[in-house]
Amino acid sequence: MLTALAGCQVRPLYSDPVGTSTALAAIEISDADERVEQEVRNALIFLVAGGQGEPVNPQYHLSLDVTSRAMGVLYDQNKDRVDRASAGRIVVKADYNLTKIGTGETIKSGNRTAVALVDFSVQEFAKVRAVRDGENRAAKELAELIRADVAAALSR
């Protein structure tokens, strides 16, 4: 009976495992190619480093590839019988790969998706702004999901 329980670990649910926050703070994140990817990158830097910025001597490298897309989901017909989107979704997807810099060993790789719902106005500027705000919200949510995945991988 004791040998079966010897492999079990009991830890407080919301405690920070020893060394995980230090390991998270030692992650460098790849440069962004476009605006939404930069939003995800900025949010990730803040989340993994606790607001301290990028590490001087990183131990891990996180490569990101982020794509985003806006689509209408509800269409209304106006008086001219033209369909116009009144509500939509912003879908932001990321493929990521966490590697140890010294060895090149892959620690965690995966992909995540975040969705933000938006209302489209008939005014063009309001529509553009709604899409941008939706992208920003989805980017922050995506960064939180990736941080959780990476933290779980580093705590093992």
Classified as helix, coil or strand, 10 is: coil
Q: Are strands 27-29 and 83-100 parallel, antiparallel or unpaired?
A: unpaired
Position 108 scores a pLDDT of 96
CA atoms within 13 A on the CB side of 83: 6
Q: Token match 């830097």: residue?
A: 45
Residue 25, C-beta contacts closer than 8 angstroms, at least 6 positions apart: 48, 49, 50, 52, 55
What is residue 81's predicted lDDT score, i.e. its pLDDT? 55
User: How far apart (Å, rounded) are the C-alpha atoms in residues 20 and 152?
Assistant: 9
| Three-state secondary structure readout of 87-114 | EEEEEEEEEEEEEECCCCCEEEEEEEEE
Strand 106-119 to 83-100 pairing: antiparallel
Ordered structural domains, the chain, with CATH? 19-154 (3.30.160.150)
Q: Show the low-confidence residues of the chain (pLDDT under 50).
A: none
